[in-house]
Amino acid sequence: MLRKNLRAAAHGVACVVFLAAASPLLAHGDVHDQIDALTKRIAAEPENAELRLRRGELRRVHGDTELALADYREAARLDPSLEAVGLCVARAFLEGGRPAEAAPPLERALARRPDDAEALLLRARVHAALGETARAAALFPRALAAAKSPTPDLYAETARALAADGRREDALAALESGLSRLGHPVSLEEAALEMELALGRTDAALARLGRLASASKRPERWLARRAEVLERAGRPVEAREAFTSAVHAIETLPPRLRASRATAALEESVRAGLARVPKS
């Protein structure tokens, strides 16, 4: 019954399903406590493959690659039908700085499930880590298309892979797709802005900055960025107007916000820009 349940749990899902209680954000002490608790359970249930897999995932999160791999190997020995083990092994190798060793288990996983979202993503990351930009650029869009709930980071990662392969137009298209699907997260707006600038689309970048400033309750950084873009584009009159607008936006902030380290640094940069750009 146990093996039947494990196979059902592993069928078509990521290895992290076995890590519900853990996260890279957990303090080391919390991970240690969970590992200790699982070690005691394993001593009481030595044939339980799921417990081995859970402990392996916790050890991977903690950065103990070799110990994690040992747990994965034992989980696979106890239950060879656990499909999740291969992906867990690949992730451990990749995160441990050994991408070449991650490739074989991923190839086996993809041979069984060619459209598995996690396997595609890990394989794309392996190619990127190995400097195989063309292959990574081919796989990231497939991983993105296979993902049921793609994150902004996945769209950004896909765009970086495409740009690294010289496909900046496709990279911008991927970012625009993410913006449309996810409700315009700021991280993707910033990535799209940088891609437009890399493509020499200054007016498009300025239009984006204008939209961001208009929609933001804190427009000062977008105004400052707009001023910098205008200055680099050789448009000093417009740049000075944008720097002036940024200064005004900062000056109207409540004292507690204006006194923050980030805002003080921005104000210093904006005033330096205003002094740098000629008045006419």
Give the pLDDT mean for 261-275. Answer: 96
| pLDDT on residue 27 | 47
d(CA 46, CA 59): 18
Q: Classify domain 1-96 at the CATH superfamily level.
A: Tetratricopeptide repeat domain (1.25.40.10)
pLDDT, the chain, mean: 89
The candidate with the shortest Cα–Cα distance to 207, out of 217, 194, 193, 220, is 193
Mean pLDDT confidence for 214-221? 95
Helix, strand, or coil (residue 275): helix
From 16-30, 80-94, 140-154, 180-194, the region with the lowest mean pLDDT: 16-30
Confidence of residue 1 (pLDDT cuts 50, 70, 90): very low
The per-residue pLDDT for 30 is 87
Share of the chain above pLDDT 70, in %: 89
In single-letter form, the type of residue at position 218 comes to R
Q: For the segment 80-129, what is each residue's pLDDT rounded down to a tens digit?
A: 988 889 999 999 999 999 999 999 999 988 998 898 999 999 999 999 99
How confident is the model at residue 83, as a pLDDT? 83
d(CA 88, CA 108) in angstroms, rounded, equals 13
Q: Round to whole Å and give the CA distance between 245 and 275.
A: 14
- In this predicted structure, the answer to whether residue 17 has a pLDDT above a threshold of 60 is no
pLDDT confidence of residue 29: 58
